[in-house]
Amino acid sequence: MKKVAIIGGGISGLYIASLLKQNCNYEIIVYEKNNSVNLEKGYGIQLSVNSIKLLNQIGFQKLTLEEKFNPNKVDFYSLKNQKKICDLNISTFNNADDKYTTLQRFTLIDFLKNKLPSNLINYNKKVIEVQNVSEIIKVIFEDNSSIECDYLIISDGIFSKTRSLISNKETKPRYFNSIAIRGTIDQKILQNIDHKNISLFLGSNLHSVVYPVNKNGQLNFVAILRKNLNSVELADYSLFNSEEFTSSTLLEISKQIDVNIIENLKEIKCFPVFVSTKISQPKNKNTFLIGDAFFAFPPTFAQGASQSIEVSHELYQNFKNENNQFNKERIKRTKMIDRKSRLNYFAFHLSNPLMCFVRNLIMRYLVKNKKFINSYLGKIYKN
Ligand SMILES: Cc1cc2nc3c(=O)[nH]c(=O)nc-3n(C[C@H](O)[C@H](O)[C@H](O)COP(=O)(O)OP(=O)(O)OC[C@H]3O[C@@H](n4cnc5c(N)ncnc54)[C@H](O)[C@@H]3O)c2cc1C
């Protein structure tokens, strides 16, 4: 039996653990640096059909209907005049079992965690060193304990320390010149939108997204604001937890977003958005990167978690076929989704009124154009 160590108990690490657990050729253990998986409330997540299809393979469809939502459309609005620009039918790619889904992030993590016997997740295990001794990989943790394994799967997120350790150099993600503001809001506050859909508000150097996360009328709110930060500000993470920073950010977005919405946001968090600049491929053929450690996308196609799940599933297939590295198609697909996420960011943040007018005209045409939708969304949603 081959030993597989999975570093990081986030979405990608827990999902691949569930898949590999089904195969009796592998003995798996997840090593998580914190004392539990992250079940923090207040964060929403969108999962497109490409990942729902893969999650359903481990029983995601059995999650109660109260805990998730299936929006049919994305409604686009202009923040400037509060008018609807157009709507996009995202349910086109749904089928009877696999539907575009929005939910609370902790619901997904809790589901993935509960798929594993509790003794398969080892907590308080922060990796500090990785050694390769012929075919065996030795992993050393901060508490001086160590393990040996045949395969190492690195799923410790965007700031992956383990990725830096295996490449012997620090590989840092890049600040995306944007900060994210997240919170929850009751649907009673937002009277003028369709609560059954995802609402996307386009502003100047700012866009915000509102969507239902369950059947109880709770909506998730995310705003992405273009903002330059210097290296000192970026190095000091406590800045983003400070009330002063949150208040000044809320003040900035209140120039475009209704004050009533901002005043009624709960569980608010601000954080800088980081993205990957290149796809890292480990030199050791028995070491793999998945999830944000493999590649982190701009958040403007809502594909981070969906791609984490897709890449994990692909690695599982590779294990089954004894094929050791991701193929060229995965690299091409990652680059394609990254390009589209950046294009969305550009289009969502336009500030010149003439450019906005032209964008809105183009959007109205494109959302009804089947050929375009099949190419732009279909290539991502139909994996
Ligand atoms: C503003 C914003 C909005 C987003 N919205 C969406 C969305 O709507 N839909 C979507 O699909 N995606 C979204 N994403 C992206 C998505 O959240 C991530 O892509 C996804 O969570 C990545 O999962 P992961 O398992 O790779 O990493 P993570 O979820 O970050 O998990 C990494 C785990 O590794 C652990 N760890 C870290 N270092 C170590 C170490 N040294 N040793 C051991 N353990 C370690 C951490 O504690 C953590 O548990 C969004 C991202 C942002 C920034």
Residue among 308, 309, 314, 344 at smallest CA distance from 329:
314
What residue ranges line ligand 1, CB within 6 angstroms? 7-13, 31-34, 38, 45-46, 125-127, 155-157, 161-162, 180, 222, 273, 291-293, 299, 302-306, 308
Residue 9 Cα: closest atom of ligand 1: 49
What would the pLDDT profile of 50-91 be if each residue is shown by its tens digit?
999 999 999 999 988 788 999 999 999 999 998 999 999 999
| Burial of 347 (C-beta count, 10 Å sphere; 0-12/13-18/19+) | middle
Q: At what angle do helices 49-56 and 304-320 cross, to 10 degrees?
A: 50
Q: Is the pLDDT score of 217 beyond 80?
A: yes
What is 159-180 written as a DSSP string? T-HHHHHHHTS----EEEEEEE
Which pLDDT score is estimated for 283? 86
Distance 211 CA to ligand 1 centre (A): 20
Atom of ligand 1 nearest to the CA of 31: 43
pLDDT tens digits, 116-136: 999 999 999 999 999 998 889
| Mean pLDDT calculated for residue range 356-367 | 98
* Average pLDDT, rounded, for the chain: 94
Task: Report CA(113)–ligand 1 centroid distance (Å).
Answer: 15
Closest-lying ligand 1 atom to the alpha carbon of residue 303? 11
pLDDT surpassing 80 at residue 325: no
| 221-279 pLDDT tens trace | 999 999 999 999 998 888 998 999 999 999 999 999 999 999 999 999 999 999 999 99
Of the chain, the percentage scoring pLDDT greater than 90 comes to 84
The residue nearest atom 35 of ligand 1, judged by CA position, is: 8
Cα 145 to ligand 1 centroid, rounded to whole Å: 25
**Please, what CATH class does the domain formed by 2-67+103-173+276-346 belong to?**
alpha beta
Please, what's the b/e burial string for 69-82 (b: 16 or more CB within 10 A of its CB; e: otherwise)? Answer: bbbbbbbbbbbeee
User: How far is ligand 1, taken at its centre, from the CA of residue 288, in Å?
Assistant: 16
d(CA 365, ligand 1 centre) in Å: 35
Average pLDDT over residues 5-20: 97
pLDDT the model gives residue 133: 84
Task: At 293, list the tokens.
Answer: 């450690």
Q: How far is the CA of 82 from the centre of ligand 1 (A)?
A: 32
Sorted by where each begins, the domain ranges of the chain are 2-67+103-173+276-346
Confidence of residue 323 (pLDDT cuts 50, 70, 90): confident
Atom of ligand 1 nearest to the CA of 305: 11
Tell me which residue has its CA closest to atom 14 in ligand 1: 304
> Which residue's alpha carbon is nearest to atom 38 within ligand 1?
156
Q: Average pLDDT, stretch 162-181?
A: 92
Please state the atom number of ligand 1 nearest to the C-alpha of residue 291. 26
pLDDT tens, 333-351? 999 999 999 999 999 999 9
Q: Please tell me the predicted confidence (pLDDT) of residue 280.
A: 83
Compute, in angstroms, the gap from residue 296 CA to the centroid of ligand 1.
9
Q: Looking at ligand 1, which atom is closest to the CA of residue 307? A: 11
Of 18, 29, 30, 32, best ligand 1 pocket probe by most atoms within 8 Å of the beta carbon? 32
Ligand 1 atom closest to the Cα of residue 105 is 17
Q: Tell me, in angstroms, the distance from the centre of ligand 1 to residue 43's CA.
A: 12
CA distances from 312 to 31, 206, 291 (A): 16, 32, 7
